[in-house]
Amino acid sequence: MLNRFVLIAVFVPLAIILVALAVANRGVVSFTVDPFNPGNPALTWQMPLFVLLFAAVVAGMVVGSLTTWWKQGRYRRLARLRGQEAETLKQAAARAPAHPQLPRPEQPQN
C-alpha cells in the first residue's frame, strides 16, 4: 500500500515534470569539453538541452549513491562482523554438551 502511494504521490508528478522539461528544452545546444578552444569540433557535440539536463541528474544520482555507499562501509563491516560473531556463538552453543539443570538456591524466609 505504501509503495503504491509513493508511486502515485512522488513518481507520477516527477515524471510529468521531466516530460514537460524535455518538451520545453528540445533545442539543440553545443556541448564542449575543451574550455580553451570551444570551437574544436573533435571535442564539441550537438545535442538537445534536455539530454544534458537528464545526464547531469543521472550523474548526480550516481555520485551521491556511490558517496553514500562509501561512507556507510564501516557500518556494513560492523554488521558483517556481528553476524559472524553471532554465528560463531550459535555453533559453539550447538557443540556444547547438555548440562543438567542446576538447582535454584533457596530463598531465605523472613
pLDDT for residue 104: 67
pTM of this prediction? 0.60
> Which tens digits make up the pLDDT trace of 8-62?
888 889 889 888 888 888 899 888 888 888 878 888 889 998 898 889 989 999 9
Grid cell in block for residue 42: 573533435
- Mean pLDDT to the nearest integer, 53-76: 93
Q: Which of 22-26, 66-70, 83-87, 96-100 has the highest mean pLDDT?
A: 66-70
pLDDT for residue 7: 80
Q: How far apart (Å, rounded) are the C-alpha atoms in residues 41 and 30?
A: 10
pLDDT cut 90: percent of the chain above it:
25
Residue 108 has pLDDT above 80, yes or no: no
Q: How far apart (Å, rounded) are the C-alpha atoms in residues 63 and 41?
A: 29
Instruction: Looking at 1-110, list the stretches that DSSP marks H as alpha helix, in order from N- to C-terminal side.
Output: 2-6, 12-24, 49-71, 73-95
Q: Beta partners for 20?
A: none
The CA–CA distances, whole Å, from 60 to 6, 19, 71, 75, 94 equal 22, 19, 16, 24, 49
Nearest to 54 by CA among 23, 8, 12, 13: 23
Nearest to 52 by CA among 29, 34, 33: 29
Grid cell in block for residue 92: 559453539
